[in-house]
A and B are shown apart, each in its own frame.
Chain A
Amino acid sequence: MDDYLWNKTGSDPELEQIESALKNLAYRPTAPPVLPPKRSAFAPPRGSLFRLRLSFAAALMAITTLGWAWFVLRNPQPAAHQAAAKTVYEIPAAVIRAEISAPAIAVSPRALAPGKPQRRTAAPRRMPANAIRPQTLMLTKEEADAYRQLITALSITSTNLKIVKDKLGGTE
């Protein structure tokens, strides 16, 4: 009996009877069981109120998006970053003209306002023989305007500072 129980040698009718009775319950390798479909933790409630709220939120989002798009299109950003809108402005490299430093106010007034007509047209300038060849830069209109304004302001500033320096130094 003992041998049959531990290493299945010999014969033990009682055990064999039990084995036979439990045979149907023995392990048989089969395919894994099919799991039920995965369900989300959030199950939208089915109701007309929820659908109404969802529709309202969607409409609100659409209105906000359209409003933002309308605002952006109506107030476009300066074209500084838009390569397509770039214009060629020729900025001559520094050509030293000593006579520019003489007047205290040396810049034509209306030239700063692009929309306003100038009272006097700019006279064509002759480039000195030793002038440096103009450097061409690709600039946007905003960049060119900003540069002109800054150089105008700095030119007037440096001219006035030079007047003071010359007076104090006894040059004039």
Chain B
Amino acid sequence: MRSLNQPALKLILLILFVLCPLAAQAQTARLRFENLNGLETKARDVVEVNVEGKILDLAKRVLAKTSDANSKKVGQAISGLEAIYVRAYKFEKENEYNIADIDEIRAQLQSPGWEKLANVRSKKNNQKVDVYTMFTGNVMSGVAVILSEAKSIAVINVIGPIDIELLTELSGKMNIPQFEIQNDKDKSKN
């Protein structure tokens, strides 16, 4: 009896050893973007940003140095931020990307832990925007925003708590020095 139990126990321990990290990973707010890698060559404009660890610390340090009110609000909104990953692609023509690629990321948000905060569906430009949040206890542990339009897609993955309301309020008030900012209104004027 004992000789039968020992291999079974080892097998159970092995399975637990393999499954525990997977289970832990399933609860993290980190999304996988690998299937978007091929879009870099197709897109006209590409933004890929990974801000984490030391880069985030440096950026927070700069925010602390700036004295204007909006920077202070930004610092307040992201004080608990652990990482932020952004993938944004803009295409010349419609249907230049495979909607399945973005749907695969939307599918990741169906895993346990993620809760839908809001979604927008608009026939204009075939726009779809989804906002998901993940909470660990009462603390926000992640936010995901997925936007898909006829000519553009954007995926945002925030790790750690952020003040969504304050960040929304700051839209358009965060200055990005030395970056070109394209405007749809200007474009239509031209």
Q: Could you tell me which A residues sit within 8 Å of B by CB distance? A: 78, 80, 89-112, 118, 120-123, 132, 135, 137, 139, 142-165, 167-168
Contacts and interface: CB of A to CB of B under 8 A. Distances in A.
Contact of B181 (A80, A100, A148): A100
A156 B175 contact: no
A109 B47 contact: yes
Interface stretch (B25-33, B51-59, B97-105): B51-59
A104 B59 contact: no
B175 A94 contact: yes
Q: Pick the 5 closest A-B CB pairs, nearest first.
A: A101-B172, A150-B59, A94-B70, A108-B180, A162-B171
B172 A152 contact: no
A49 B7 CA distance: 53
B88 to A, nearest CB: 5
10 contacts: A93-B67, A94-B68, A103-B184, A106-B181, A108-B182, A123-B180, A135-B66, A135-B68, A160-B129, A161-B145
Contacts of A91: 62, 66, 175, 177
B66 to A, nearest CB: 6
Interface residues of B, number: 67
Q: Which of A102, A137, A160 has the most CB of B within 10 A?
A: A160
Interface of B: 43-51, 54-63, 65-71, 74, 78, 84-86, 88-90, 118-120, 122, 129, 131, 145, 147, 149, 152, 154, 156, 158, 164, 167-168, 170-186
Say what secondary structure dominates the interface of chain A: helix
Contacts, number: 213
B179 A142 contact: no
Given A108-B179, A153-B49, A153-B84, A146 B56 contact: yes
B120 A107 contact: no
Nearest to A121: B180
A102 B184 contact: yes
A135 B68 CA distance: 9
B51 A107 contact: no
Nearest to B177: A91
Given A91-B66, A106-B181, A122-B178, 12 more contacts: A104-B149, A108-B45, A108-B182, A111-B178, A143-B62, A146-B56, A147-B58, A147-B59, A151-B175, A156-B88, A157-B158, A164-B118
Given A142-B58, A153-B84, A160 B118 contact: no
A108 B47 CA distance: 8
B167 A158 contact: yes
A146 B64 CA distance: 13
Contacts of B88: 104-105, 107, 156
B39 to A, nearest CB: 12
Given A93-B66, A154-B74, A157-B84, A148 B178 contact: yes
Contacts of A122: 178-180
